[in-house]
């Protein structure tokens, strides 16, 4: 059976007990939780799971069910756009040959979320005509409800109405990506301008999505590298730094959300002059991780932040 990944993005980043309960629900039916990342400013958490087809399907149903009872969007405040308690649920094939299995699992999850949990499900990525979550999130939950009521949109699964407490589930199939944020020392307008300069949709780097966000006490360029083969992560960081400096702003600390594919570490290390960045097992060496951390503006990059470290053996 195929080993698949899923990286649910949940609309809770402040209550650790709630997040732990949801993570436990993902794991209770066989999926393996590799990482849990909380972000109180975004009020969002990202859980990384792996499992075979049945384990992942069952685990996702258990976790989404737990999230809908524990997260109330009517009480939610945070800078990150969202339309659901279990806001974005991607199924990720770890090899190209596993794409059909990922598509089958995603549709099975969508049917069960609609039938068993009673939530509307919208599709994106490989199963959603190439649409991205931002297509559904624009204008927020109220606007999504209006588009449904006006018959501009209809869920692929579940009822044609939003649950005011739990919202909708955006379910997709996509390739592995990297979620990475960089603090900027400057006003929000500069962060927004830098984001426009680096994201693909406004003429920036291929495979890069970016937003400029205001956090509690700082601003941030929040990026998704949705095609790790199109633009290396260290190049994204270099471009953010250059665009910020061009606007008289400095770049502070980086933040890796979830796990990172080893290839991103290898590329950054080679660019920094490391000739042999992989050890005998094919994982990044200590030296490679150290050079990559500097490239990414991270204090350190532990071995367990690399996806393949969890899949070894």
Catalytic residues: 80
Using DSSP bridges, classify how beta strands 121-125 and 169-173 pair: parallel, antiparallel or unpaired. Answer: parallel
CA-nearest of 222, 223, 228, 298 to 262 is 228
d(CA 33, CA 94): 16
d(CA 220, CA 246): 16
Alpha-carbon torsion 97, 103, 106, 108, what sign? negative
DSSP string over 35-52 = EEEEETTTTEEEEEEEE-
d(CA 237, CA 231): 10
Which tokens sit at 196?
């426009």
CB 149 within 8 A of CB 94: no
Cα separations in angstroms, 246 against 105, 188, 189, 191? 46, 15, 13, 12
CB 110 within 8 A of CB 59: no
Contacts (Cβ under 8 Å, ≥6 apart) of 286: none
d(CA 297, CA 71): 33
């Amino acid at each position: 059976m195929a080993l698949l990944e899923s990286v649910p993005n949940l609309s809770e980043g402040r209550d650790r007990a709630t997040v732990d309960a949801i993570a436990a629900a993902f794991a209770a039916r066989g999926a393996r939780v590799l990482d849990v990342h909380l972000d109180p400013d975004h009020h969002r958490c990202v859980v990384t799971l792996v499992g075979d087809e049945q384990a992942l399907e069952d685990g996702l149903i258990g976790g989404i069910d737990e999230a809908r009872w524990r997260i109330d969007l009517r009480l939610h405040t945070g800078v990150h756009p969202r339309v659901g308690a279990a806001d974005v649920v991607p199924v990720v094939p770890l090899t190209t040959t596993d794409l059909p299995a990922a598509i089958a699992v995603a549709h099975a999850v969508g049917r069960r979320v609609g039938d068993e949990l009673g939530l509307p499900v919208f599709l994106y990525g490989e199963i959603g005509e190439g649409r991205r979550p931002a297509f559904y999130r624009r204008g927020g939950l109220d606007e999504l409800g209006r588009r449904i009521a006006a018959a501009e949109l209809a869920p692929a699964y579940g009822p044609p109405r939003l649950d005011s407490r739990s919202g909708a589930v955006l379910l997709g199939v996509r390739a592995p990506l990297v979620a990475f944020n960089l603090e900027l020392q400057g006003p929000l307008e500069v962060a927004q301008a830098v984001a426009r300069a680096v994201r693909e949709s406004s003429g920036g780097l291929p495979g890069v999505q970016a937003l400029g966000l205001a956090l509690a006490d700082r601003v941030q360029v929040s990026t998704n590298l949705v095609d790790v083969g199109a633009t290396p992560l260290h190049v994204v960081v270099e471009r953010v730094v250059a665009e910020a400096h061009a606007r008289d702003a400095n770049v502070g600390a980086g933040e890796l959300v979830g796990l990172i594919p080893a290839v991103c570490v290898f590329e950054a290390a080679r660019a920094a002059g490391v000739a042999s960045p992989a050890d005998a097992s094919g994982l990044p060496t200590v030296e490679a991780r150290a050079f990559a951390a500097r490239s990414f503006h991270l204090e350190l990059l532990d071995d367990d932040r690399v996806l393949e470290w969890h899949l070894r053996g």
